[in-house]
Amino acid sequence: MDATSNKPPVLEVRCLTKRFGGLTAVKNLSLDLHAGEIFGLIGPNGSGKSTAMKSIMGIERPTSGEVLFEGENLAGQPSHKIARRGFGMVFQHSRPLNRQTVLENIMVALLPDSLFMLLPDKALTERAKWIADRVGLGNVTNRRPPTLPFADLRRLELAKAIARDPKVVLVDEPFAGLTLAEVGTFSELIRSFRDEGRAVLLVDHNVKSVAALVDRVLAMYLGEEICTGRAEEVMRNETVRRVYLGGAIETAARPEANFKDKAPLLQVENVSVYYGKAQALDHVSIHVHQGEFVSVVGLNGAGKTTLFNTISGFLPYTGEIIRNGEKLRGTTPAKIARSGVVQCPESRELFGEMSVRENLDLGGQHLTEEEKAKQIAWLFELFPILRDRQGQMAQTLSGGEQQMLAIGRALMMQPKILILDEPTLGLAPVILELLSKALERLRQTTDITVLLGEQNVTFALPHADRVYVLEHARIVWEGDPGRFAAEAGEGYL
Tens-place pLDDT, residues 360-416 = 999 988 889 899 999 999 999 988 888 888 999 988 888 788 888 999 999 999 999
Q: Taking a C-beta distance cutoff of 8 angstroms, is the pair 308, 254 a contact?
A: no
Query: Does position 122 have pLDDT exceeding 50, yes or no?
Result: yes
Higher confidence at residue 258 or residue 168?
168
Q: Are strands 199-203 and 168-172 parallel, antiparallel or unpaired?
A: parallel
- Domains of the chain by residue range: 11-245, 256-489
Return the pLDDT at 258.
Answer: 64
Higher confidence at residue 384 or residue 490?
384
Return the pLDDT at 326.
Answer: 92
Residue whose C-alpha is closest to residue 132's, from 149, 109, 150, 114: 109
Q: Taking a C-beta distance cutoff of 8 angstroms, is the pair 274, 176 a contact?
A: no
Q: Taking a C-beta distance cutoff of 8 angstroms, is the pair 254, 482 a contact?
A: no
> Identical fold at 11-245 and 256-489?
yes
Return the pLDDT at 257.
Answer: 47
The fraction of the chain above a pLDDT of 90, given in percent, is 48
The strand ranges marked E within 243-297 are 266-275, 278-288, 293-297
pLDDT confidence bin for 22, thresholds 50/70/90: confident
Higher confidence at residue 353 or residue 308?
308
Residues with Cβ < 8 Å from 458, sequence gap 6 or more?
245, 246, 247, 248, 249, 250
Query: Does position 141 have pLDDT exceeding 90, yes or no?
Result: yes
Classify residue 124 by its DSSP letter. H
pLDDT confidence bin for 110, thresholds 50/70/90: confident
The CATH topology of domain 256-489 is Rossmann fold (3.40.50)
The fraction of the chain above a pLDDT of 70, given in percent, is 90
Query: Does position 323 have pLDDT exceeding 50, yes or no?
Result: yes
pLDDT confidence bin for 490, thresholds 50/70/90: low
Residue whose C-alpha is closest to residue 418's, from 386, 442, 394: 442
Domain 11-245 superfamily per CATH: P-loop containing nucleotide triphosphate hydrolases (3.40.50.300)
CA–CA separation, 270 and 478 (whole Å): 15
Query: Does position 184 have pLDDT exceeding 90, yes or no?
Result: no
Length in residues, the chain: 493
Q: What is the mean pLDDT of the chain?
A: 86
Phi/psi for 213 (5° steps) reads -105, -35
Summarize the confidence of residues 291-295 as an average pLDDT: 92
Q: How far apart are the first and last CA of the chain?
A: 23
pLDDT confidence bin for 112, thresholds 50/70/90: low
Under DSSP, is residue 314 helix (H, G, I), strand (E, B) or coil? coil
pLDDT confidence bin for 476, thresholds 50/70/90: very high
Phi/psi for 349 (5° steps) reads 55, 45
CA–CA separation, 393 and 258 (whole Å): 42
Summarize the confidence of residues 220-245 as an average pLDDT: 84
Query: Does position 261 have pLDDT exceeding 90, yes or no?
Result: no
Return the pLDDT at 90.
Answer: 87
CA–CA separation, 131 and 156 (whole Å): 10
Most confident by average pLDDT, 92-96, 217-221, 425-429: 217-221
Summarize the confidence of residues 53-73 as an average pLDDT: 93
